[in-house]
Amino acid sequence: MDRNKTAKEKEEDYNNLLREEYVKRILADGFEILEPEGNELLIDLDTPEQIRMFHSQYEMLERNMCDECYPLAKFIWPSRGGNGEHVYIAMDFNMTPGERIAFQAALGSDPKRELLSLIRFKKGDIKPTILVEVPGMWPQENIKIARRMSIKYTDGQ
């Protein structure tokens, strides 16, 4: 990678090898990685406006989803930077990575993150969505329970 690139350009110049290096570095720094299962959304809210939008959009999601495609679990916790929030939602249906990105974006997740995730997906990244978490600061046990409860939706994904 060209060392003269800005941090923004480096972030956007992405491939699977760089993702592997990034994940290794994050884990070595003591953080944890949360990757979604086939029926899960991971939403990154960085601003008060995004947080307000999420709550409004989530209410719309709940009002309009059918009985067979409804949120099963939702957990919200402070993001790593402390100014925003991360959200985990387990749906009762599986989705493609592209559908996941669309739902996350529609629910107010950081638009830059979702655009780059979509680009990563189009470039062949099969897991373009992750959240970086501080150990002990996210509802890991609750998510494990939600995953056990929704196992039929994640089988084969």
How far is residue 80 from each of residues 16, 77, 119, 138, measured CA to CA in Å? 23, 9, 24, 9
Q: Report the C-alpha gap between 13 and 146 in whole angstroms.
A: 35
- Asked whether residue 150 is assigned to any structural domain, the reply reads yes
- Asked whether residue 8 is assigned to any structural domain, the reply reads no
- Asked whether residue 17 is assigned to any structural domain, the reply reads no
The domain in which residue 135 lies consists of 35-154
Answer whether 91's CB lies under 8 Å from 153's CB: yes
Answer whether 61's CB lies under 8 Å from 71's CB: yes
- Asked whether residue 20 is assigned to any structural domain, the reply reads no
> What is the total count of domains within the chain?
1
CA 52 to chain CA centroid, Å, is 18
- Asked whether residue 9 is assigned to any structural domain, the reply reads no
- Asked whether residue 111 is assigned to any structural domain, the reply reads yes
What is residue 72's predicted lDDT score, i.e. its pLDDT? 86
- Asked whether residue 1 is assigned to any structural domain, the reply reads no
pLDDT, tens only, 29-66: 999 999 999 999 999 999 999 999 999 999 999 888 87
- Asked whether residue 105 is assigned to any structural domain, the reply reads yes
Q: Is 144 exposed, middle or buried (0-12, 13-18, 19+ CB in 10 A)?
A: exposed
* 87: CB partners within 8 A, 6+ apart: 41, 42, 43, 45, 54, 74, 75, 76, 107
pLDDT, tens only, 73-87: 999 999 988 899 999
What is residue 17's predicted lDDT score, i.e. its pLDDT? 66
What would the mean pLDDT of 131-157 be, rounded to a whole number?
81
